[in-house]
Amino acid sequence: ADQEVQRASTYAPVNIAVIKYWGKRDTKLNLPTNSSLSVTLSQDDLRTHTTATCSSSYKSDTLTLNGSDQDIAGARTQACLRELRALRKEIEAKDSHVPKLSEMALKIVSENNFPTAAGLASSAAGFAALVRAIANLYQLPATPTVLSRIARQGSGSACRSLFGGYVGWNQGELDDGSDSVAYEVAPASHWPGMRALILVASAEKKDVSSTAGMQQTVASSALFQHRAENVVPKRMEAMEAAIKDRNFEAFAALTTKDSNNFHATCLDTDPPIFYMNDTSRAAVRMCETINQVAGRQICAYTFDAGPNAVVYYLAEDEGRVAGAFKSMLGDLTGWTEGVKATDVSAGMEH
Ligand code: PMV
Per-residue pLDDT at 195: 95
In a domain, 1, yes or no: no
Amino acid at 293: V
How would residue 116 be classed by pLDDT, with cut points 50, 70 and 90? Answer: low
The whole domain housing 104 covers: 6-190
Domain membership of residue 75 (yes or no) is yes
| 206 and 130 within one domain | no
Given 190, 213, 228, the domain boundary residue is 190
Q: So what's the pLDDT on residue 200?
A: 82
Q: Is the CB of 20 under 6 A from ligand 1?
A: yes
pLDDT of amino acid 203: 66
Mean pLDDT score, 118-122: 64
| 236 and 304 housed in the same domain | yes
Window from 29-33, 135-139, 335-339 with minimum mean pLDDT:
335-339
Which segments within 14-46 are labelled E, that is strand?
A: 15-19, 24-26, 31-32, 36-40
Task: Tell me: do 106 and 210 sit in the same domain.
Answer: no
Ligand 1 pocket, residue 156 CB under 6 Å: yes
User: Tens digits of per-residue pLDDT, 5-42?
Assistant: 899 999 999 999 999 999 999 999 999 999 999 999 98
Residue where one domain finishes, among candidates 190, 206, 225? 190
Among residues 174, 190, 206, the one where a domain terminates is 190
Do residue 173 and residue 263 come from a single domain? Answer: no
What number is the ipTM of this complex?
0.99
Q: Are residues 206 and 309 in the same domain?
A: yes
Q: Is the CB of 304 under 6 A from ligand 1?
A: yes
Are residues 56 and 123 part of one domain?
yes
**What's the pLDDT score for residue 201?**
79
> What distance, in Å, lies between the first and last C-alpha atoms of the chain?
29
Pairing of strands 15-19, 68-69: unpaired
CATH (domain of 160): 3.30.230.10
284 within domain boundaries: yes
Count of C-beta atoms within a 10 Å radius of residue 209: 13
| Same domain, residue pair 19 and 150 | yes
Distance (Å, rounded) from C-alpha 81 to C-alpha 54?
Answer: 12
Q: Identify whether residues 228 and 120 lie together within a single domain.
A: no
- Of 162, 205, 210, 235, the one to substitute when testing ligand 1's pocket (max ligand atoms within 8 A of C-beta) is 210
30 within a domain of the structure (yes/no): yes
pLDDT at 121: 66
Rounded Cα distance, 92 and 138, in Å: 10
Residues 173 and 202 in one domain: no
- Asked whether residue 158 falls in the same domain as residue 243, the answer is no
| C-beta of residue 80 within 8 angstroms of C-beta of residue 131 | yes
Rounded to the nearest angstrom, the distance between the alpha carbon of 8 and the centre of ligand 1 is 27
Instruction: Based on the fold, state whether residues 157 and 239 are members of the same structural domain.
Output: no
pLDDT band per the 50, 70, 90 thresholds, residue 350: low
Give the range among 77-91, 109-123, 160-174 with minimum mean pLDDT: 109-123
Same-domain status, 284 and 157: no
Mean pLDDT of the chain: 92
Is the pLDDT higher at 270 or at 345?
A: 270
Average pLDDT over residues 249-278: 97
Q: What percent of the chain has pLDDT over 90?
A: 81
pLDDT at 338 over 70: no
- Select from 2, 5, 16, 20 the least CA-distant residue to 344: 16
Domains: count for the chain: 2
